Amino acid sequence: MSEIELSVDVGKLGRVAVLFGGQSAEREVSLQSGQAVIDALIKAGVDVVGIDADDALIERLAEARPALVFIALHGAAGEDGRVQALLEFLKYPYTGSGVQASAIAMDKWRSKQIFSAAGIPSPAYRIMTLDTDLSDVVAELGCELMVKPASEGSSIGMSKVHSEDELKQALAKALAFDPHVFAEQVISGAEYTVAVLDGEALPVIKLETDREFYDFEAKYVLDDTRYLCPCGLAEEAEQELQALALKTFEALGCEGWGRVDFMADAEGCFYVLEVNTVPGMTSHSLVPMAAKAQGLSFEDLVVSVAKTAIAQ
């Protein structure tokens, strides 16, 4: 049985303000996550107020007077440390990682530099600009690459490429979302994700999609993506992956809850892709699936996440 409490005294939480929506490219996903969190907190008997994080955020918080803030914002200005810094300045306890860890985890390029320093395996990569000689990138990393904006989530702006011509197009696409873009060597194998909640790694989920990769459509739109939990790994391999998730979470200084995404190669070696400090909480989201496999209802999961803010 999980070490996570299945029952939390909701009276100790006080009023909870759920921040959702916002103005990032992930606004629509955040609206879904936030509404799901609000509904779960209401069902659990929590005093809750939802706040769409617009330019009047400070005034809305002052009006709501919450005891703590549940961050359900995804992407820029919600997951990158800026809202976290504002909440700390205003002295509101909040869910998830602090300012520094949020900022670093949101920046996949800088995260990879920390992974390297901490001895955490991650796919080889190369930062790119409009002036980059793309033939050098292909010579170094190969033709099959993932091109990623450094600081976007939900696979927004990402492309999988198989040639130098496709690489050029993918670079232009990614630069429309972020001035920092990198190419990453493709690891051909199974994809896994590990949710972390209050210092514990939840059961591993294996992801399978018939699309080119696990993109926005596969994550949020289509119903044919397959989520396997149990994940099919041997117990020793699953424990290894969970331990690597916790090591990665700690290396970035993350707290509270989050999710670590992995690829495995043909030999079964695991590679960290990224850390999500405010994972989705929609009907297609992965953390609720892992929590359910651990014996936590969605309401218990949401209240447990809210509870982690109390200790700040």
| Active site annotation includes 236 | no
Catalytic residue chosen out of the listed positions 261, 285, 300, 304: 261
Give the pLDDT of residue 8.
55
Q: Which fold has domain 125-185?
A: Dna Ligase; domain 1 (3.30.1490)
Catalytic residue chosen out of the listed positions 94, 192, 220, 271: 220
CATH of domain 10-95: 3.40.50.20
| Active site annotation includes 136 | no
Catalytic residue chosen out of the listed positions 21, 22, 24, 26: 26
Catalytic residue chosen out of the listed positions 152, 259, 299, 304: 259
Give the pLDDT of residue 44.
94
CATH fold match for the domains 10-95 and 125-185: no
Number of neighbouring beta carbons within 10 Å of residue 305 = 24
Domain boundaries, the chain: 10-95, 105-121+188-294, 125-185
Catalytic residue chosen out of the listed positions 94, 280, 299, 300: 280
What are the angstrom distances between the C-alpha of 153 and each of 29, 30, 261, 274?
10, 11, 12, 10
Strands 68-71 vs 16-20: parallel, antiparallel or unpaired: parallel
Give the pLDDT of residue 218.
45
CA–CA gap between residue 107 and residue 115 (Å, rounded): 12
Number of neighbouring beta carbons within 10 Å of residue 295 = 12
CATH 3.30.420.40 fits 105-121+188-294, yes or no: no
Which candidate, 193, 137, 139, 183, places its Cα nearest to that of 157?
Answer: 183
Give the pLDDT of residue 12.
81
Sequence-distant (≥ 6) Cβ neighbours of residue 183 within 8 angstroms: 125, 126, 128, 137, 141, 145, 146, 147, 148, 167, 171
| Active site annotation includes 154 | yes
| Active site annotation includes 259 | yes
| Active site annotation includes 255 | no
The per-residue pLDDT string of the chain (312 residues; one tens digit each, 9 = 90 and over) reads 344 454 557 778 999 999 999 988 889 989 999 999 999 999 999 999 999 999 999 999 999 999 999 999 998 888 999 999 999 999 999 999 999 999 999 999 899 999 999 999 999 999 988 888 999 999 999 989 999 888 765 567 888 899 988 999 999 998 988 888 999 999 989 999 999 999 999 999 999 876 655 555 544 455 667 899 999 999 999 999 999 999 999 999 999 999 999 999 989 999 999 999 999 998 778 999 999 999 999 999 999 999 999 755
Catalytic residue chosen out of the listed positions 24, 33, 102, 154: 154
Q: Is 190 strand, coil or helix?
A: coil
CA–CA gap between residue 10 and residue 45 (Å, rounded): 7
